[in-house]
Amino acid sequence: MLRLAGGAAAGMLLAPRAAPVSARPVDRHLPFPRRLRLARPQRGVVEATLVAAPATVRVHDRLARLWTYNGSLPGPLLRLREGEHVRLRLTNRLHEETNLHLHGLRVSPAVDDPFLSISPGESVLYEFDVPQGSRGLHWYHPHVHGRVAQQLFAGLAGPILVDAADEPPRPRDVADRVVVLKDLELVDGAPAPHAFADWRRGKEGRLLLVNGALAPALVATDRLLRLRFLNASNARYYRLALEEHAFRLVASDGHALGQPLVVDELLLAPGERADALVALEREGRFALLDLPYDRGAGMMMGGPGGAAGPEPVRLMTIVRPPGIAARAVPPPYAAAEDLRQRPADAVRRLVLAEGMMMGGGFTINGRTFDPGRVELGARLGTVEVWEIENRGRMDHPFHLHTYPFQVLSRNGAPESAVLWKDVVNVRPGEVVRVAVALRDFAGRTVFHCHIVEHEDRGMMGTLEVTPA
């Protein structure tokens, strides 16, 4: 068994209502992501600023020079409400270009523009409305083609949590926690540079950080926990299991499931989110484990970053102390729209492939990304079926901006749940069919593999949606 990391870290955040623990003391509590300070100049309007800049951050037992939003790892939590009007300023204090992507939020591509580039020293205002029905966990990160992998690995990513308009916010409620999973590798106090092979397999690090902490503990104050997981890693997959407990999956990629799924494991590819309820039936300490998962990058493993070993890793510990209150399982959400029976307005095939050579390009339909080329043109208001085929040897998590999709089938086997997502993992040899609802906004945006090295090396295409 891995033991909990010893030694108190300065600056760690303590759970504010942590109940006394009967057994061993807890070394390090699961930090809350720092909250982004919001100004509310008038009713329904939210203003905030993100500054992308190098900063020295305590990572476990040492100081590291990272690239951060507002000096924190992960970036500060942007907590919004459906219907709010947001003015979010991004200031670039890096020495290279960056921009901001609001991953999972349905925002016009004219605002959430992956083609925008912000020079060092510049600021850009992102102004948008938080759409109805966007309650759930999303995130933000940079999206300048060719620079995403290094910027994300160095620390630039943060969570966005949207509350429903009719939901009372429960800030700092230990029963409802955002859990950001991000791996890191440090060399001489800085993020390890990409090695040649990292550009092929996707870069992983050996520090498996949970809200920026190593192997923290979450001391429950209720018997029912809601854990909102975000995989903000470049390339690492997390196959999550909680000792002696099942997960009740209530939302995926910020989309509520009408019918929760009870599962023993949750596989989270880069970019994916999963909201799970955990009912702690007994007192005790339970490890949240990352189980081994073969994503096909094994032939590339070895050396720094090749930490995906055969042993489960303890990501954190959940402690249920004696004598805490029971909490009723909340009723399921309203059933989501089901597009399974809807005829498709168009059917497309997208073939993901890996170049033969080391360092060779990653392609979609035989081509690497070209910002000047529209790969797919579609009409606003239609529903298309996309067949995503992986002809490579590695898993590729396929992601589409702006337009959510419903998973229909894998290799012909129908998906039994009504499952809406914005990232879907596609295994080698698999064909995943999804129904894409091209609604709300016209414009140009992108789809890509969310192993960001693959994205930077070409596995991305442009979708242009034109008004009907």
Applying CB under 6 A, the residues found at the interface with ligand C2O are 101, 103, 141, 143, 271, 399, 401, 448, 450
- In angstroms, the Cα distances linking 71 to 35, 36, 65 are 12, 11, 10
**Which part of the chain contacts Cu ion (CB under 5 A), choosing from 9-17, 51-59, 83-91, 400-408?**
400-408
User: Residue 64 Cβ, how far from ligand C2O at the closest point, in Å?
Assistant: 23
Cα four-point dihedral sign 365, 368, 369, 372: negative
- In angstroms, the Cα distances linking 327 to 151, 172, 278, 384, 448 are 41, 17, 11, 42, 41
Helix (H, G, I), strand (E, B) or coil at 69: strand
Give the amino acid at 234. Answer: N
User: Residue 270 Cβ, how far from Cu ion at the closest point, in Å?
Assistant: 9
The two three-digit tokens of residue 175, written as one number? 């029963």
Counting Cα atoms < 13 Å in the Cβ hemisphere of 440 gives 18
User: Residue 219 Cβ, how far from ligand C2O at the closest point, in Å?
Assistant: 32
Q: Indicate whether 449 belongs to the interface with Cu ion (CB under 5 A).
A: yes
Among 228, 401, 421, 457, binds Cu ion (CB under 5 A): 401
List the single partner that 449 binds among ligand C2O, Cu ion, none, CB under 5 to 8 Å by kind: Cu ion
Give the amino acid at 300. Answer: M
Per-residue string for binding with Cu ion, 73-112, x by CB under 5 A? Answer: ------------------------------x---------
User: Residue 270 Cβ, how far from ligand C2O at the closest point, in Å?
Assistant: 8
Q: Which is nearer to Cu ion, 59 or 149 (CB)?
A: 149
Binding residues for Cu ion, rule CB under 5 A, total 6
Q: Indicate whether 396 belongs to the interface with Cu ion (CB under 5 A).
A: yes
Q: Indicate whether 34 belongs to the interface with Cu ion (CB under 5 A).
A: no
Peptide bond into 54 cis (omega under 30): no
List the single partner that 454 binds among Cu ion, ligand C2O, none, CB under 5 to 8 Å by kind: Cu ion
List the single partner that 451 binds among Cu ion, ligand C2O, none, CB under 5 to 8 Å by kind: Cu ion
Per-residue string for binding with Cu ion, 192-221, x by CB under 5 A? Answer: ------------------------------
239/225 Cα distance (integer angstroms): 19
Q: Which is nearer to ligand C2O, 295 or 454 (CB)?
A: 454
User: Residue 106 Cβ, how far from ligand C2O at the closest point, in Å?
Assistant: 14
User: Residue 166 Cβ, how far from Cu ion at the closest point, in Å?
Assistant: 27
Q: Indicate whether 454 belongs to the interface with Cu ion (CB under 5 A).
A: yes
422/420 Cα distance (integer angstroms): 7
CA angle 352, 432, 245 (to 5 degrees): 115
455 phi and psi angles, rounded to 5 deg: -60, -50
Counting Cα atoms < 13 Å in the Cβ hemisphere of 462 gives 17
**Using an 8 Å Cβ cutoff, are 53 and 156 in contact?**
no
User: Residue 262 Cβ, how far from ligand C2O at the closest point, in Å?
Assistant: 28
- In angstroms, the Cα distances linking 3 to 217, 314, 315 are 11, 8, 11
* DSSP class per residue in 340-403: TTSPPSEEEEEEEEE-SSTT--EEETTB---TT--SEEEETT-EEEEEEEE-SSS-EEEEESSS
The two three-digit tokens of residue 50, written as one number? 């993100």
Per-residue string for binding with Cu ion, 351-390, x by CB under 5 A? Answer: ----------------------------------------
User: Residue 307 Cβ, how far from Cu ion at the closest point, in Å?
Assistant: 19
Q: Which is nearer to Cu ion, 197 or 451 (CB)?
A: 451
List the single partner that 448 binds among Cu ion, ligand C2O, none, CB under 5 to 8 Å by kind: ligand C2O
**Using an 8 Å Cβ cutoff, are 231 and 273 in contact?**
yes
Among 152, 451, 460, 465, binds Cu ion (CB under 5 A): 451
**Which part of the chain contacts Cu ion (CB under 5 A), choosing from 2-10, 133-141, 189-197, 444-452?**
444-452
Residues lying near Cu ion in the complex (CB under 5 A) are found at 103, 396, 401, 449, 451, 454
